[in-house]
Amino acid sequence: MTSAREQRQPLAKAALGKQGRTAAKRFAAFVAACIGICAGIGVVRAQTAGQSEAAAAATTAVPTAVALPTNVAPQAKTGLNIVVLDPAHGGTDSGARGAQGIRESDLVLDLTLQVRRALEAQGFQVIQTRSGNENPSFDDRSGMANAQYGAVFVTLHISSSGLPGTARVYVMPEMASRVNAGGVLSWDTAQAPYISLSRKFGDAVQGLLAQRFKGSPNNAQTASVRQLRTTAAPAIAVELASVSVEDRSQLDKMMPGVADAIARGVAAFRPSYVLPAGAGAQP
Amino acid sequence: MNGRWKTWLLVGLGSATVIAAIYFPYLRKRVKTTAKIEQPTEEQARRELTAPTAVNASDPVVKVRMFWASGEDETSLAPVTIDLALSPEPVLRAKQVLNTLLAGPVDSDLRTLPPDAALLAFYLLPDGTGVADFSEALATSTPSGIQSEQLAVDSIARTLEANLPQVRRLKILIHGQEMETLAGHLDLTQMFVVNTKVPQPGPLMMGAAAKPAASSAPATRPLNRGVGTSPKTPQR
C-alpha cells in the first residue's frame, strides 16, 4: 500500500522538471539581454568617447590645461552657436544680500531664464552652469564652456552697491598667455588668447545696455573677475545694480531689457567670432 | 673632631630645613601671583599687532594723495590730497599710507575699505612686489560684487602708486593666506600692477606692457600668479 505522499512524488518531480526548464529559459533570456545591453553601451561609448574625454578634461577637480573638443564637425568650428550662461553663486553662497532679503543667487537664476529665452529665440543653443540652487566651483563652471566649440560665456551678477537701475559689463584685463608642453593652453590663463574677442563682445553688450539703462557706461569695464580667468572662450560678466533697492520688483523690471540686450549683443558679436590663433591645442 | 663635624653637618641641615620651611609658603604665594597676571587675549594681540604705525616726530610732513570714492560718482575713485608725516623708509611709509586709507575720509560714505579691516603686515620684495596682508574683515566686510571689490583693490593700488614709486605690483593676502577672491568675485590669486611707469622685469612684461584697455574705467590689471616673483627676503 502506497501512502498519499508517495503517490504525489512523481507529480511533484514532473512539476519540478517543468519549473526547472522554465527557469533555465528565463535565465538564458536574461543572459542574452545582458549581453545585448553591454554591447549597446559599448557602441554608444565608442561613439561618444571623444566628447566624454573632452568633458572629463574640462571638469577635472584641479585642471591644469584646457583640452578643446576634437570631434566637432568642421562647419561647427567656424561660427558662434552656443552661449554658456552662468548664474553666479548658489547653494550656501548667496552672493550679495540686500536689506529686504534679496539674494543675488536667486535673482540671477531668474535673470538667466529670461536671457535663455531671448537667446533661444535668436537661434542659439544655451547651456547653463546651474539650473537650481547648487554651487559649482569656478573651474567647473569654466569647464562647461571650455568643453564647447563655438561658444561664448556670460556670467550674471547683481552688485551690492552702485547706481540702482544700471548695468555694467566686465572683461578681463590683458594677461600673459601660457602654453604648456605639447601646445596645450594653461588652465590658469585660459582667457588670455580671448581677451580682445571678449572686449569686442563686452562692448557690444554694454552699448546696448547703455541705451536701455541710463547711467550705465558705454563701454565694457576691465576687472580681474575670477570666473573669467579660466574660461577659454569670449567671456563677459554682466552685473546689475543692485540688491540695495527697496523692492525686488525694481530689479525684476530690468530683467527683460537686460535679456534682450545680451541676446542682441551676442547676435551682433557673431560675425566677429573667429577663434584666435594659438587658443589652446587646435585639432 | 669627627663627632664635631657630624654635629655641624646636622645643625646645618636642620637650619636649611627650617629656612626652606619658612621660605616655601612665600615662594608658593609668588608663583600664584605671577600666574594670576592675565595673558593677552587674541583680540588684544590683534589690536597690538594692528596698532597704527607710530609717527616719528622727525618724519617730514608731505602731501599725500589718497584714493577714496568720488563724491560725484561712487563707482569711481577721486584723489584727495592730505598732509601726513611720512617715513622715508618704504615699508613704514606704505604702512602709514595704507593705515590712513583704512581710516577713511572725513565723509564715511566715501570709504572704499571696510572700517573694521586692518593692515596686519606689509612686505616689500627687492623686485618691487608689495605684499599687503590684511585682516579677515577686508574679505568678510567688503560688499560682495565686482564693482565694490574692484573699487577696494583699485583704491589700495592707486594710493600706493601715488605715494610709493618703489612698489611696482601688489599682492593682497588675507590673514597671511592667499585667497581665491576678495568677496566672491575679484581674483586675489593674481598680482595687480601698481606702478605702470616703472618697467616690469622679464616675464611680467607680457602682461604689464599690454595695450591699455579700450574700456573707460582705469582698472588695476592683474599679473599672472607666480610669474617673475622670486622668493627673496622681504623687508618688513
| Interchain contact, B215 vs A177, CB within 8 Å | no
Lowest mean pLDDT among A170-184, A269-283, B70-84, B137-151: A269-283
What's the pLDDT score for residue B38?
A: 56
Tell me the C-alpha distance between A229 and A188, whole Å.
Answer: 7
Tell me the chain B residues in contact with residue A179 when contact means C-beta distances shorter than 8 Å.
none
Residue A101: is its pLDDT beyond 80?
A: yes
In A, minimum Cα distance to B150 occurs at A223
Residue A83: count other Cβ atoms within 10 Å of its Cβ. 26
Helices A248-269 and A195-212 pack at an angle, to 10 degrees, of 130
Site of grid cell 573707460: B216
- Contact yes or no for B189 and A173 at CB 8 A: no
Question: Which chain B positions have a beta carbon within 8 Å of A171's beta carbon?
Answer: 213, 215
For residues A260 and A23, the model is more confident at A260
**Closest chain B CA to residue A196:** B213
Q: Is the model's pLDDT at A55 over the cut of 80? A: no
In this prediction, residue A67 carries a pLDDT of 61
Which site among B74, B113, B205, B215 would you substitute to test the A interface, given the most A Cβ atoms closer than 10 Å to its Cβ? B215
CB neighbour list of residue B31: distance below 8 Å, 6 or more residues apart: none
Q: What is the mean pLDDT of residues B10-20?
A: 92
pLDDT-derived band at A17 (thresholds 50, 70, 90) equals: low
β-pair partners for A221: A170
CB contact under 8 A, B222 and A159: no
- Stretch A165-176: mean pLDDT, rounded? 94
Residue A27's pLDDT band, with cuts at 50, 70 and 90, is low
Contact check, Cβ <8 Å, A220/B215 = yes
Q: Measured between alpha carbons, how far is B232 from B132 in angstroms, rounded to an integer?
A: 16
CA distances to A170, A280, B74 from A184, rounded to whole Å, are 26, 5, 42
- In terms of Cβ atoms closer than 10 Å to its own Cβ (0-12, 13-18, 19+), residue A212 is middle
Question: Cβ A223–B192 below 8 Å, yes or no?
Answer: no
Long-range contacts of A132-137 (CB under 8 A, 24+ apart): A132/A90, A133/A90, A133/A91, A133/A105, A133/A109, A134/A90, A134/A91, A135/A89, A135/A90, A135/A91, A135/A92, A135/A93, A135/A105, A136/A90
For residues B85-111, average pLDDT: 94
Cis peptide preceding B70, ω within 30 of 0: no
pLDDT above 80 for B225: no
Query: Ranked by mean pLDDT, which of A179-188, B179-188, B205-214 comes out on top?
Result: B179-188
Question: Nine-digit cell at A237?
Answer: 560678466
Strands (E), chain A: 65-66, 82-87, 125-128, 151-158, 167-171, 185-186, 221-222, 235-240
- ipTM > 0.90, yes or no: no
Kindly state the percentage of chain A with pLDDT values over 90: 58
Number of Cβ within 10 Å of residue B78's Cβ equals 14
Q: What is the pLDDT of residue A238?
A: 98
Distance CA B148, CA B145 (A): 5
Query: Residue A12: what residue type?
Result: A
> Would you say B123 and B191 are in contact if contact means Cβ atoms under 8 Å apart?
no
pLDDT band at B195 (very low <50, low <70, confident <90, very high): confident
Locate the chain A residue with the closest alpha carbon to B183: A95
Q: Is B71 an interface residue toward A (CB < 8 Å)?
A: no
Give the burial string for A28-52 (b: 16+ CB within 10 Å, else e): eeeeeeeeeeeeeeeeeeeeeeeee
State the Cα–Cα distance between residues A248 and A255, nearest whole angstrom: 11
Averaged pLDDT of chain B:
80
Angstrom distance (rounded) from CA A130 to CA A127: 9
C-alpha cell at A199: 572686449
Other CB atoms within a 10 A radius of the CB of residue A245 amount to 19
**Which one-letter DSSP state was computed for residue A278?**
T
Mean pLDDT of A28-57: 47
User: A164 or A32: which carries more pLDDT confidence?
Assistant: A164
Instruction: Give me chain A's average pLDDT, please.
Output: 80
Question: Identity (one letter) of the amino acid at B70?
Answer: S
Place of cell 567656424: A78
In chain A, residues with a C-beta closer than 8 Å to the C-beta of B207 are 174-176
Helices (runs of H) and strands (runs of E) counted in chain B: 6, 7
For A93, nearest residue in chain B (alpha carbons): B184
CA distances from A282 to A68, A201, B169, B178 (A): 7, 22, 34, 33
Is the distance from CB of A165 to CB of A250 less than 8 angstroms?
Answer: yes
Helix axis angle, A138-146 to A4-58, nearest 10°:
90
Instruction: Give the single-character DSSP code of B220.
Output: P
| pLDDT reading at B200 higher than 90 | no
- Is-contact B152 B98, C-beta < 8 A? no
Res A182: pLDDT:
74
Range scoring the smallest mean pLDDT among A23-27, A110-114, A183-187, B82-86: A23-27
Which residues partner with A97 through β-bridges? A103
Between the CA atoms of B220, B221, B223 and B228, what dihedral angle is there, to the nearest 10 degrees? -70
> Is residue B58 very low, low, confident or very high in pLDDT (cuts 50, 70, 90)?
confident
Q: Which residues of A touch B229 (CB under 8 A)?
A: none
The closest CB to that of B219, out of A161, A173, A177, belongs to A173
C-alpha cell read off for B186: 575679484
